[in-house]
């Protein structure tokens, strides 16, 4: 007989100390049958329970290599989808709170991307001219679209390599959903800004002329990360005026102006490793999510490194923060009781095409 699910409302008022005891007990009971994967942006009171941590690329690899039956993803929806796509058929991908989404991923959906493809067909054959490349921060059906049309997935760690691969296949790239990562990566490859126009999905033909489309090397989707939008060039200017020897490091989801005024630009793994390997007594201004910045500030403080958050306004990945200790405890205790809650299962046909695009990425990387 199938086990009855433990109701979430039982955990709503559970104090954090009691929650911790129950999480530890459930993890012990599950043993090697379950692993918890957490993204660097995850809140500290959940991150501390992770068995595996990393950025999107690292977690994609770890998910594909894991042996546990249950993959509990403390991240956002698209990450749990990737875990399901890349894992073995008998493995189960779980997201403790289904409301943990990604506002950037929501800016591009399958119907809009299909419409772009149809509109581009009025100018040329897109399957001959354009490689579709989606940032990993996107839904599984968009990864499947890329798999179907000879395209690929990228992360902030490997976007340059992915663009080079894309251009080796076709003349142009349709890059979605984050315009900033696409623009900065194209810039690093020597592509001029006027060859990277923004495709406004709310406008006919993206708001572009046929001449602009023919001239474009990269068509950038009009999407962005709400967290990284908070960082501004004046934040860097203020820091440099106060600390002339200070160093600035930013995530490529930041605006072009912020990236262009930074000493270093790279993924979350790159940011962590760069500061870790830096000399003692250095001061850093970091343009990425607050939970990560706070964590590395504490980690590197004993080594004489001062790490501070770029924006004067508190901004964090609020959707990822929906996964709290209470949701994690609920998820784990249900598994102990023999009940899976919040399984993320990508439809088979969609998963097969999405896996093509993800495997291309892993091979290129």
Number of residues that this document lists for the chain: 365
Quick one: pLDDT at residue 1? 38
Taking the C-alpha atoms of residue 139 and residue 78, their distance in angstroms, rounded to an integer, is 6
Whole-angstrom Cα distance, residue 100 to residue 312? 25
C-alpha dihedral (254, 356, 69, 14), degrees to nearest 10? 30
In what helix (H) or strand (E) does residue 282 lie, and over which residues does it extend? none
Fold match, 105-225 / 232-309: yes
Pairing status of strand 130-135 against strand 247-250: unpaired
Specify the CATH number of the domain 8-99+320-346.
3.40.50.10800
Q: Which CATH architecture has domain 232-309?
A: 3-Layer(aba) Sandwich (3.40)
Counting other chains too, the contacts that 1-10 makes at CB distance below 8 Å and 24 or more residues apart are 2/338, 2/339, 3/337, 3/338, 3/339, 4/337, 4/339, 5/334, 5/337, 5/339, 5/341, 6/330, 6/333, 6/334, 6/337, 6/339, 8/326, 8/327, 8/330, 10/330
Predicted local distance difference test score (pLDDT) of residue 105: 83
Beta strands (DSSP E) in 26-123 are 34-39, 52-54, 70-74, 92-94
Q: CA nearest 105: which of 187, 22, 177, 19?
A: 177
The predicted pLDDT at position 102 comes to: 82
- Rounded-to-10 torsion of CA 217, 219, 220, 221: -170
Calpha distance 154→133 (Å, rounded): 7
Which structure tokens are listed for 125?
């054959």
Distance of alpha carbon 323 from alpha carbon 26, whole angstroms: 17
- The predicted pLDDT at position 2 comes to 55
Structure tokens at 277: 């390997």
Per-position pLDDT tens, the chain of length 365? 356 788 888 888 888 889 999 999 999 999 999 999 998 888 899 999 999 998 877 887 888 888 999 999 998 899 899 999 999 999 999 999 999 888 888 899 999 999 999 999 999 999 999 999 999 999 999 999 999 999 999 999 999 999 999 999 999 999 999 999 999 999 999 999 999 999 999 999 999 999 999 999 999 999 998 888 899 999 999 999 999 999 999 999 999 999 999 999 999 999 999 999 999 999 999 999 998 999 999 999 999 999 999 998 766 666 767 899 999 999 999 999 999 999 999 999 999 999 999 999 999 98
Q: What is the pLDDT of residue 190?
A: 98
- The whole-model pTM stands at 0.91
Q: Which CATH number fits domain 105-225: 3.40.50.880, 3.30.56.10, 3.40.50.300, 3.40.50.10800?
A: 3.40.50.10800
Domains of the chain, residue spans:
8-99+320-346, 105-225, 232-309
């Amino acid at each position: 007989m199938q086990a009855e699910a433990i109701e979430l409302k039982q955990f709503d008022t559970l104090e954090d100390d009691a929650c911790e005891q129950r999480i530890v007990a459930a993890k012990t009971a599950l043993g090697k049958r379950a692993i918890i994967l957490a993204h660097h942006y995850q809140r500290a009171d959940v991150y501390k329970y992770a068995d595996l941590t990393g950025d999107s690329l690292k977690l994609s690899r770890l998910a594909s290599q894991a042996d546990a039956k249950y993959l509990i993803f403390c991240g956002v929806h698209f990450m749990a989808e990737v875990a399901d796509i890349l894992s073995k058929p008998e493995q189960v991908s779980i997201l403790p709170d289904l409301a943990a989404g990604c506002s950037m991923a929501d800016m591009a959906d399958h119907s809009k991307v299909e419409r772009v493809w149809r509109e581009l067909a009025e100018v040329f054959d897109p399957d001959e001219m354009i490689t579709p490349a989606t940032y990993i921060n996107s839904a599984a059906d968009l990864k499947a679209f890329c798999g179907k049309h000879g395209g690929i997935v990228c992360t902030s760690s490997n976007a340059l390599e992915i663009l080079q691969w894309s251009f080796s296949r076709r003349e142009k790239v349709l890059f979605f959903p984050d315009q900033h990562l696409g623009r900065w990566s194209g810039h690093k490859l020597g592509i001029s800004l006027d060859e990277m126009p923004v495709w406004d999905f709310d406008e006919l033909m993206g708001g572009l002329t046929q001449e602009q489309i023919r001239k474009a090397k990269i068509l950038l989707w009009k999407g962005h990360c709400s967290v990284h939008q908070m960082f501004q060039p004046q934040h860097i200017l203020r820091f440099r005026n106060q600390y002339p020897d200070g160093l600035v490091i930013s995530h490529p989801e930041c605006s072009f102006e912020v990236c262009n005024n930074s000493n270093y630009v790279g993924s979350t793994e790159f940011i962590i490793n760069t500061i870790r390997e830096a000399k003692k007594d250095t001061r850093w201004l970091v343009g990425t999510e607050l939970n990560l910045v706070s964590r590395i500030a504490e980690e590197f403080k004993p080594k004489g490194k001062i790490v501070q958050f770029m924006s004067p306004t508190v901004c964090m990945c609020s959707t990822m923060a929906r996964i709290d200790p209470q949701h994690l405890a609920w998820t784990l205790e249900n598994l102990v009781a023999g009940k899976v809650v919040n399984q993320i299962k990508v439809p088979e046909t969609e998963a097969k095409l999405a896996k093509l695009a993800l495997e291309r990425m892993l091979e290129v990387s």
